[in-house]
Structure 1
Amino acid sequence: MDPDTVEQLRAAGESDSHVDADGRVPHGSSDDPNLLDFSANTNPEVPSGAARVFSAAFAASRSYPADDYVQFRTAAAEFVGCDPLQVIPTAGGLEAIRLAIQTTVRRGESVLVPTPSFGEYVREVRLQGGEPALVGHDEMLDSDPAPHAMAIVCNPNNPTGDCYDAEALRAFADRCRAADTTLLVDEAFLGFTDDPSLAGRTGVVVARSLTKLFGLPGVRMGYAVASEAARDRLATARRAWSMSEPAAAVGEHCYRDEAFVERTRERVGDERERMYERLSSRFGVYPSDAPFLLFEVTDTTVDDLLLTARERGIALRDARTFRGLDSHVRVAVRTPEQNDRLLEALGV
């Protein structure tokens, strides 16, 4: 991405929301079939049988899906450790985030938002008329939640990749509950780790996405988890038929494939460590618990690095569109063979 484009993206959202002229937050992903895409953090592998399950569900798509999604909710609840009744199906994790903010934040209310982090949080808060109160993501758990209607945590954080200490996060959740502040935890990448989910905890709304872990972003599988009054608000506001029949079937199938999840976690952990060591020989790399690595470019410009990688058939994520990152690039952790191509292209 050229510097003029980056500056336009930054300026379009009143200089601090990182949205483009259409109000959209820039994301990774390349649709160029000639490029190996390291800009999007989706699993390069999918569970076996997923295509078969999707095709088998096509016939059922001739009718509206059963709006209770019992099988999907049961599988999701078993995966994160909550009651199936607490699972609110959505078309992807971002819809779960919007639903949580929409049912919690009123016009003029303040929301604690981490930075640098997923740019959609600021946009969604503003769409509800709320006011984002930005705080460094590594300082979030030391913040006072009392003045705010909601606090948002991304765990592991995107784009830095680090997980919060589990005990400290639970303590922050308790403080939010005591202050009557809803805590929204985006766990889009937590499935790549062994860390426990906060799903089902009182006062917490968890947003989950299956699309990252199972490599199927186009299927749009996600859900929120909440309890008590928050659960009732989300269940009432959820659109009818909020997940397609094929998405629900594939989601259930994926969550039942425990062996795939374990293989993915092992591969990502091994490859992330190898990539971290190699990339650190040239760049300032952030420690990560996620399926991606963020690094600072110091020996050239981001534009030159992006261009060089592209000429060698690799798409990288320009991380300058994240608040406070002026010389950074993010790369996904893919298969060993694909990662070798990346490392060779970057000269490390």
Structure 2
Amino acid sequence: MNRERAAALGREPHGSTDDPDLLDFSANTNPEVPAGVERVYRAAFETARTYPPEPPGAFRAAAADFVDCESEHVVPTPGGLAAIRTAIALAVDPGDTALLPAPSFGEYAREVRLRDGEPSFVDAESILDADPRGHALAVVCTPNNPTGTGYDRESLLAFAERCRAADTVLLVDEAFLGFTDRESLAGTDGVVVARALTKLFGLPGIRAGFAVATGELGAALRGARRAWNVSAPALATGEYCLRQPAFVRETRNRVRRERERLRNALGDRYDVTPSDAPFLLVDVGDRDVDRVVERARKRGVAVRDARTFRGLGSHVRVAVRRPAENDRLLAALGVGDEEDGEIEDGDEADAGTGDGDGGEAGDV
């Protein structure tokens, strides 16, 4: 892959805003972090003065316990995207095709193209019914971003079996699975599972995650991993977070409760997709998406223009945050207003053009 081709592929816009005056519902990270995590991070300073253990056994053990697999099958990575990139690089050769869900996380297609492979898109709702034969790779995001679809475990296992029979690597992105009570596919033969601390633990800047794979696939992932590829503070913070079951349980309960409340409230005005994730996909119908996004911004809230996901032309995506914050989201989207989604006087002149170009972006 030459530099010109890599530059031409570029990057699609991602969720999140760096405007401190906006309440961010465009990204899907947990607004809460485990109690004591800052202390652990600061205490890791001394360990940062020496090379981390190689391989990082304590982190691998915590990750293995978290997803219920063998620790030797865990491959630490600097974030979930690093796990995804490594898996795709190992599976896809020039000219290969990859079975990808759409709409979903846009980096899957980008990484396939960086390998001179060709994406083959399938409706995300029916990805498990697709035929993996002839493809080097198949990808499933569960729950899917941005639809929030959580796939049945038995259906996932059946698809994994068909992928093994077809000699197709199955990459399962479980970035949001920690928000649910569903079991991980970690440790399933022929499957690479990608996980991260980004979403569930609210720490995207830590850049800590891991892949899980068995057999020859696992050996290849371990061989491709660079020594000391995750910093000592990230390893210490990650190990601590992965051993906080009470925090995980409380987060799941809050998200489940608030997601249902938001969906019911938003459903009075918009078409809202059922979700198992810490976000909701909202169809704004014949309203102008740019105006919906801009109106929310003027009310102090950033929502995600979901037109950057393949196949979505009238949608925004909103995170599920804490109760008082969620109330602000409802107000920003006009829930409870007498006017049915009409833009306020003066908004039209200032309405932004948005970043939706029919692309495929998601969150890292």
- Aligned equivalent of 1:291: 278
Amino acid paired to 1:312:
R
Give the residue type in structure 2 aligned to 1:188.
Answer: A
The aligned residue for residue 157 of structure 1 is 144
Q: 2:252 aligns with which of 244, 265, 277?
A: 265
Distance 2:22 2:82 in 1: 29
Deviations 1:11-40 (A, max 9, x none): xxx9xxxx9967112110111100000000
Aligned to 2:362: none
Is 1:20–1:26's contact at 8 Å kept on the other side of the alignment?
A: no
Give 1:114 shift.
0.6
Contact kept in structure 2, 1:65 and 1:245, CA below 8 Å: yes
Q: CA deviation at 1:139?
A: 1.6
Q: Distance in 2 between matches of 1:298 and 1:253?
A: 44
User: Out of 226, 235, 242, which is 1:239 matched to?
Assistant: 226
Moved over 3 A (4+): 19-22
Question: Is the aligned partner of 1:324 residue 2:311?
Answer: yes
SS at match of 2:91: coil
Q: Distance in 1 between matches of 2:284 and 2:170?
A: 34
Establish whether residue 343 from structure 1 lines up as the match of residue 330 from structure 2.
yes
User: How well do the aligned residues superpose, as a CA RMSD in angstroms?
Assistant: 1.4
Q: How does 1:123-272 map to 2 (within 5 A)?
A: 123-272=110-259
What letter matches 1:269 in structure 2? R
Counterpart AA for 2:69? C
Alignment partners' CA distance in 2, 1:212 and 1:66: 26
Going from structure 1 to structure 2, the CA distance change for 1:49 and 1:308 (only over 3 Å counts) comes to same
Q: Secondary structure at the match of 2:172?
A: strand
Does the 8 Å contact 1:105/1:150 carry over to 2? yes
In 2, distance between residues paired with 1:304 and 1:109?
41
Q: Which moved more, 1:135-144 or 1:266-275?
A: 135-144
| Runs of at least 5 residues in structure 2 that lack an aligned partner in the other structure | 336-364
TM-score normalised over the length of structure 2: 0.89
Deviations 1:294-335 (A, max 9, x none): 011125211111111101100000100000001100000000
Aligned partners of 1:309 and 1:345 also within 8 Å: yes
Aligned-partner SS, 1:135: strand
Determine the C-alpha separation between the residues in 2 that align with 1:87 and 1:342: 38
Cα displacement string for residues 48-105 of structure 1 (whole angstroms, at most 9, x for unaligned residues)? 0100000000121122212211111101100101000000000000000000011111
Residue 8 of structure 1 corresponds to none
The offset of 1:162, in angstroms, is 0.9
Which among 262, 267, 286 is matched to residue 280 of structure 1?
267
Given residue 320 of structure 2, which amino acid in structure 1 is its aligned partner? V
Matched ranges for 1:18-33 at <5 A: 23-33=10-20
Distance 1:21 1:38, change over 3 A: farther
> How many residues are matched?
331
State the match for 1:64 in structure 2: 51
State the distance in 2 between where 1:280 and 1:233 align: 47
Determine the C-alpha separation between the residues in 2 that align with 1:241 and 1:144.
Answer: 38
**Are the aligned partners of 2:45 and 2:233 in contact in 1 as well (CA < 8 Å)?**
yes
Q: Distance in 2 between matches of 1:206 and 1:162?
A: 17
Work out the CA distance in 2 between the residues paired with 1:35 and 1:112: 37
- SS for the counterpart of 1:199 is coil
Indicate the SS of the match to 2:226.
coil
Which residue in 2 is equivalent to 1:10?
A: none
Alpha-carbon spacing, 1:20–1:342, altered in 2? closer, same or farther (3 Å) = farther
**Is 1:307 aligned to 2:294, yes or no?**
yes
Classify 1:32/1:22 alpha carbon distance in 2 versus 1 (closer, same or farther; 3 Å): farther
1:256-286 per-position Cα deviation (integer Å, ceiling 9, x unaligned): 1100000000000000000000001111100
CA separation of 1:93 and 1:273: change in aligned 2, threshold 3 A: same
Answer whether contact 1:42 1:214 (CA < 8 A) is retained: yes
Listed as ranges, the gaps of 5+ residues in structure 1 are 1-13
Matched to 1:62, the amino acid is R
CA contact (8 A) 2:305 2:315 kept: yes
SS at match of 2:218: helix
CA distance in 2, matches of 1:110, 1:22: 17
Distance, in Å, in 2 between the alignment partners of 1:338 and 1:21 is 39
